[in-house]
Amino acid sequence: MRRYTVPPEEEGRRLDRLIRDWWPSVGMGLRMGAIRRGDVRLDRMKVSCSKRLVAGQELTVPWDDEPVAPKGEESCVVRGESRVLPSWVIHMDQVLLVANKPPGWICQPGGSGNGTSLPEEVWRLIGRTGPVPAHRLDVNTSGVVLVPLTKPFARELQRMFREGLIRKLYWAVVKGRCGGAFRIDAPLYAGDGGPVAVSGEGREALSLVRPLCTHGGYSLVEVTLVTGRKHQARAHLAHAGLPIVGDPVYGVRLQGVRRPMLHARFISLPDEASLGDLRGASFTAPLMEDMEDLIGRLGLQHPGAMNRCGDLA
């Protein structure tokens, strides 16, 4: 008996058709008989010929022939062996990859210049093209990004983002003293590609801000984006008199800081059955080294270290 893992691209297919395509040298009678007898199993259970496949299931077959990769595919199975994942991967399973995007990486394939593309790095890792992030971060914003690996899961995430069911928290180092939690309820107008501006002509935008630590004229703040507008955290914080350090458009410059000190710190999924094992899951992205260094330089001891910033629950 040999075991394989059903890859994401085969999700939703009938078992008998996958067996036919993967092992064309095995005659139809042998294939169907093996399924009916239970010699072909999914997750070690006997199933019918018409059973629909789910990515990540263990497929057991009684023959030793290697499966044939479909035309244009390097491999039609994902083997179950363990592998070392790159440091930017927070989580990966059969349907979702969660990345801690470094600054300088773009969230779409291609693009201009020599920047690294997050989707293309994902493609290299999984050995096929196709998956793209379910949401985006600005090129120099770091932090957590969800990359669905199957089309059904991508559709679910897109729906949940549209309905505001996915919670996103950002950390930012800002110029100014943030004395307490507050709301920024200010519409944002994107215009024709220039900076985003607070304007009555813009779209509704809501951010929730709370301080994590304040020292020497700078603050480390947490921002919850209730809406998801372009440059929302950067524009809203500037509007509130707390511009992000290193932001060349909305913020303030500081020696040695080469990008906006904004990090997508945390994301959580809703408690919905359609997410399967990821129902209610949450992911936290460690800070990048440059942001860690600045926090230390400014005396903003963040809660991941000694929890000196008050009630952070």
Q: Note the pLDDT of residue 167.
A: 95
Cα(172)–Cα(178) distance, integer angstroms: 12
- Characterize the bridge pairing of strands 105-106 and 116-117: parallel
Q: Note the pLDDT of residue 79.
A: 40
Q: Which fold has domain 89-297?
A: Pseudouridine synthase (3.30.2350)
Taking only the tens place, the pLDDT of each residue in 1-34 is: 788 888 877 888 899 888 888 887 787 778 888 8
Binned at pLDDT 50, 70 and 90, residue 67 comes out as confident
CATH class as words, domain 2-61: alpha beta
Binned at pLDDT 50, 70 and 90, residue 256 comes out as very high
Taking only the tens place, the pLDDT of each residue in 177-211 is: 999 999 999 999 987 777 999 999 899 999 999 99
Statement: residue 115 has pLDDT above 70: no
Where do the structural domains in the chain lie, given as residue ranges? 2-61, 89-297
State the chain's mean pLDDT as an integer.
Answer: 87
Statement: residue 53 has pLDDT above 70: yes
Distance of CA 107 to the CA centre of its chain: 10
Pick 194 or 94 by higher pLDDT. 94
Q: Which range among 3-7, 119-123, 187-191, 265-269 shows the weakest confidence by mean pLDDT?
A: 3-7
Using a pLDDT cut of 90, give the percent of the chain over it.
62
Buried residues in 237-256 as b, exposed as e (16+ CB within 10 A): bbbbebbbbbbeebbbebee
Cα(274)–Cα(153) distance, integer angstroms: 9
